[in-house]
């Protein structure tokens, strides 16, 4: 007999293409906003730790807004999460993304290179 | 404790217009050019003949039967499995059944497999040639200029990388030369290309290199793979499946779901 987890997955399967699409949408948003945060940090003239802190805080805010505006409303209106069945154990996130940890932290590494590029550029332009 | 004075260097503001912006614009345009060159050069896959298509599709059929067996009823799964295994073991789907026991042909001599290798070669060339050109262009024109200051401090180890061609010993490693701006552009322009060209663009060489370094999926229908062995392995995989259906015990789950 299959394990309980395997059976859960077979009863409510995840469509691989949709997961990839969701992750890609989030990735696009994060890499674009990271570049814009770099512009902001450069114009403000932030240096070293405060700049990275700026990036950390704002990219977390972006992910939080994405969660609040795009994921939470659909989760409330969908019927399957309101009925507390065994399948909604992993929370709402697992219905749309691979894992919660991935969802919250992947954005930090996605946009870091773009952030550093625009941060350096605008810092150099403003402080020339 | 004495405060280390912050180094300031007076630079000509014209440096921005004649070094920084040209490098950035050239990098972006090269990325766009590379994307469209890859799109134009990619040759459409050649249509396969009937027998090799049958060989590939029947193997895929077996794989999808193995991964999706739980949606079938026991009887239909068993009849499908029996049919597929019999055909696999007798080699009914093979492209040329008389070459069953022989080793696969050498991929270098097979003309049909040369196309794939040519495609890979083209991609490699599209990455290597622009990189070499831009590197030598920057080295020839802009080496030795200090153009910018990084907004975060770095250790002294980075000095040889960031200030290549600048022969000043005591300079803070935060100051960067034109070649390091090139490297920053190479890493950081991916988001710009995402924005300009859409998602699955071929503009950034970094993404492609990452893809090559990652664990490569074993080639399924590539040259040098013996299809008969693949069929036999798949038949074995199918034979060991212990069948269960998702509908087993569905009444119990339904009753649990509607309990108040």
Dihedral angle of Cα B229, B231, B236, B242, to the nearest 10 degrees: 160
Residue B1 domain flag: no
Residue A1 domain flag: no
Residues of chain B where predicted confidence (pLDDT) is lower than 50: 1, 213-218
pLDDT at B208: 55
Could you list the residue range(s) of the whole structural domain that residue B235 is in?
A: 14-102+109-258
Q: Which residue has the higher pLDDT, B67 or A5?
A: B67
The minimum CA-CA distance between B258 and chain A, rounded to whole Å, is 9
Could you list the residue range(s) of the whole structural domain that residue A32 is in?
A: 16-75+89-126
Which candidate from A113, A114, A128 shows the least CB-CB separation from B16? A128
Residue A6 domain flag: no
Q: Does B244 contact A2 at a Cβ distance shorter than 8 Å?
A: yes
Residue B148 domain flag: yes
CA distances from B188 to A41, A63, B249 (A): 16, 20, 53
How far, in whole angstroms, is CA A30 from its chain's centroid?
Answer: 7
Model confidence at A89, pLDDT cuts 50, 70, 90, reads very low
Please count the structural domains in chain A. Answer: 1
Residue A107 domain flag: yes
pLDDT at B102: 62
Would you say residue A106 has pLDDT above 80? no
A74 in contact with chain B, both atoms CB, cutoff 8 A: no
Residue A3 domain flag: no
A48 in contact with chain B, both atoms CB, cutoff 8 A: yes
Residue A5 domain flag: no
Which candidate from A2, A113, A127 shows the least CB-CB separation from B187? A113
pLDDT 10s digits, B96-119: 766 666 665 555 555 556 666 777
The residue of chain B nearest to residue A43, with distances taken between CA atoms, is B151
**Which of A62, A127, A28 shows the shortest CA–CA distance to B201?**
A28
- Per-residue HEC secondary structure of A46-85 comes to CCHHHHHHHHHHHHHHHHHHHHHHHHHHHHHHCHHHHCCC
Residue B5 domain flag: no
Residue A7 domain flag: no
pLDDT at A81: 42
Residue B212 domain flag: yes
pTM of the model: 0.71
Q: Does B189 contact A117 at a Cβ distance shorter than 8 Å?
A: yes
Q: Does A28 contact B194 at a Cβ distance shorter than 8 Å?
A: yes
Model confidence at A85, pLDDT cuts 50, 70, 90, reads very low
Residues of B in contact with A41 (CB under 8 A): 151
pLDDT 10s digits, A6-61: 777 777 777 778 888 888 888 888 888 888 998 999 898 888 888 889 999 998 89
Residue A104 domain flag: yes
Please count the structural domains in chain B. Answer: 1
The residue of chain A nearest to residue B198, with distances taken between CA atoms, is A28
The residue of chain A nearest to residue B206, with distances taken between CA atoms, is A113
ipTM given for this complex? 0.70
Which candidate from B16, B70, B188 shows the least CB-CB separation from A117? B188
A1 in contact with chain B, both atoms CB, cutoff 8 A: yes
Distance separating alpha carbons of residues B50 and B222, to the nearest angstrom: 17
Residues of A in contact with B147 (CB under 8 A): 124
Residues of B in contact with A40 (CB under 8 A): none
B228, B90 Cβ separation under 8 angstroms: no
Give Cβ neighbours of residue B205 (< 8 Å, ≥ 6 apart): B34, B127, B131, B186
What is the average pLDDT value for chain A, to the nearest integer? 76
B41, B122 Cβ separation under 8 angstroms: yes
């Amino acid at each position: 007999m299959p394990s309980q987890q395997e059976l859960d997955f077979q009863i409510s399967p995840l469509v691989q293409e949709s997961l990839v699409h969701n992750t890609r949408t989030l990735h696009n948003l994060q890499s674009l906003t990271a570049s814009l945060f770099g512009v902001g940090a450069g114009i403000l003239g932030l240096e070293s730790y405060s700049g990275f802190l700026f990036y950390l805080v704002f990219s977390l805010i972006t992910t939080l807004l994405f969660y609040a505006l795009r994921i939470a409303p659909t989760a409330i209106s969908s019927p399957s999460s309101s009925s507390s069945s065994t399948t909604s154990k992993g929370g709402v996130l697992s219905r749309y993304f691979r894992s919660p940890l991935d969802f919250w932290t992947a954005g930090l590494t996605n946009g870091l290179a773009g952030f550093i590029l625009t941060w350096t550029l605008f810092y150099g332009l403003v402080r020339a | 404790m004495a405060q280390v004075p912050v180094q300031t260097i007076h630079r000509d503001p014209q440096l921005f217009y004649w070094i920084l912006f040209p490098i950035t614009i050239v990098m972006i345009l090269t990325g766009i050019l590379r994307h469209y060159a890859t799109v134009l050069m990619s040759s459409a896959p050649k249509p396969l003949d009937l027998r090799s298509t049958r060989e590939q599709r029947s193997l895929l059929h077996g794989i999808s039967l193995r991964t999706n067996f739980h949606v079938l009823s026991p009887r239909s799964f068993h009849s499908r499995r029996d049919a597929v295994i019999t055909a696999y073991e007798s080699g009914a789907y093979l492209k040329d059944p008389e070459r069953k026991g022989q080793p696969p042909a050498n991929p270098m001599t097979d003309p049909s497999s040369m196309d794939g290798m040519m495609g890979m070669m083209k991609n490699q060339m599209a990455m290597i040639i622009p990189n070499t050109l831009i590197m030598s262009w920057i080295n020839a024109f802009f080496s030795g200029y200090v153009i910018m200051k990084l907004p975060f401090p770095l250790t002294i180890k980075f000095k040889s990388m960031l200030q290549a061609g600048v022969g000043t010993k005591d300079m803070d490693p935060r100051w960067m030369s034109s070649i390091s701006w090139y490297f920053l552009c190479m890493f950081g322009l991916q988001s710009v290309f995402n924005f300009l060209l859409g998602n699955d663009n071929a503009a950034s060489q970094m993404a492609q290199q990452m893809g090559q370094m990652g664990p490569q999926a074993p080639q399924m229908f590539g040259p040098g793979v013996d299809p008969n062995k693949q069929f036999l392995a798949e038949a074995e995989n199918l034979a060991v499946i212990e069948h269960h259906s998702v509908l087993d015990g569905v009444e119990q789950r339904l009753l649990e779901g509607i309990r108040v």
